[in-house]
Structure 1
């Protein structure tokens, strides 16, 4: 019998603003097993690193963390269309969801309805990409949705983030290379 050594790779990365005229929408979802409650967070950035908008929304009776990640990814795509952004990059730390969005094959999982909706909306953009980002680079969205879940509050802000996330946003700008 062959023994395998399990290793875990840690990726430390910094968030990077879009390098071309494109809008970047970061998404994340948080799930509470005990309450069957979840929240989703979105932050949209332009290529100058300015926040165009941020939001968090609460959901009841969410069956799993995968479900909320698929819902929030779909919401990110919908927001891009609603705002008329022709070129969008959607980033999240849910690798399974990102891979399903990148794929052109028919999804047969429990998430298929959400993935199908995402894939059908893709054609309405001039350009759309889906990228996986390490949790460390998605910290602003993560903070937004976890605080929303803790506080039982939803947020929707144009041109910024809630006060509790402002410090993190300033720190990111200072670390960002020009």
Structure 2
């Protein structure tokens, strides 16, 4: 538990000036996988979502899922990264920049392991990243992750459910365009 406290302290001491303020394209030859989670306490459920784009910023795929369980915000965010990486491994893609809006999860991914349910989730994420290869983690503020937030929240409404490479709904296209213009 001391390691988890250390990761949380690291979060408060980390300079946020390096956090991405708006969505940006990945490095040339890389993909970008944005992840997010949304909690709905009234129904004890969470929506997980991720968006995959190429190095030109073009939409490749998105996926979301609704799960019924009681998780903390940091556990839900880590679970979203884990599920997104599992999906990416399943479709055989790598060389990806994974961007999340949870500074706690980002910091813990860059620290040593610790024993807790949250620590086990983080260890799963690290193991998947090593298996895939070419995975880099980045932290972005919420406003740089709007499209993925929309996908995660869409899991509650069953509006954007799909697997593999799907075509985004018109409402998502507006958010994707917003990301690229700002």
**Superposition TM-score, scaled by structure 1 size:** 0.82
Q: Is the 8 A contact 2:23 2:180 kept in 1?
A: no
Q: State the secondary structure of the residue aligned to 1:18.
A: coil
Q: Secondary structure at the match of 1:120?
A: helix
Q: Which has the higher helix share?
A: 2
1:77 maps to 2:67: no
**Aligned match of 2:52:** 44
TM-score by length of 2: 0.81
Q: Secondary structure at the match of 2:23?
A: coil
SS state of the match for residue 77, structure 2?
helix
Change (3 A) 1:92 1:111: same
Map of 1:66 onto structure 2: 74
Contiguous gaps of at least 5 residues in structure 1: 1-8
Q: Does 1:122 align with 2:129?
A: yes
Pairs aligned (count): 165
* Pick aligned residue for 1:132 from 107, 126, 139: 139
Q: Are the aligned partners of 1:58 and 1:154 in contact in 2 as well (CA < 8 Å)?
A: no
**1:97-145 Cα distance to aligned partner (Å, 9 max, x none):** 1112222x11223312211111122222331111111000000011122
Q: Could you say which residue in structure 2 is the equivalent of 1:96?
A: 104
Q: Which has the larger radius of gyration?
A: 1
Name the CA shift for 1:130/1:58 in 2 (closer, same or farther; >3 Å).
same
2:24 to 3, 16, 29: 16
Unpaired stretches in structure 2, ≥5 consecutive residues: 1-15
Report the CA distance between 1:62 and its aligned residue. Answer: 2.6
1:107 aligns with 2:114: yes
Structure 2: distance between partners of 1:108 and 1:163 = 43
Are the structure 2 counterparts of residues 136 and 77 from structure 1 closer, same or farther at C-alpha, using a change threshold of 3 Å?
same
Number of the residue aligned with 1:146: 153
Q: CA deviation at 1:147?
A: 3.1
Q: Does 1:156 align with 2:166?
A: no
**CA deviation after TM superposition for structure 1 residue 28, in Å:** 0.3
Picking from 156, 177, 180, the partner of 1:170 is 177
Q: How much does 1:13 deviate?
A: 2.2
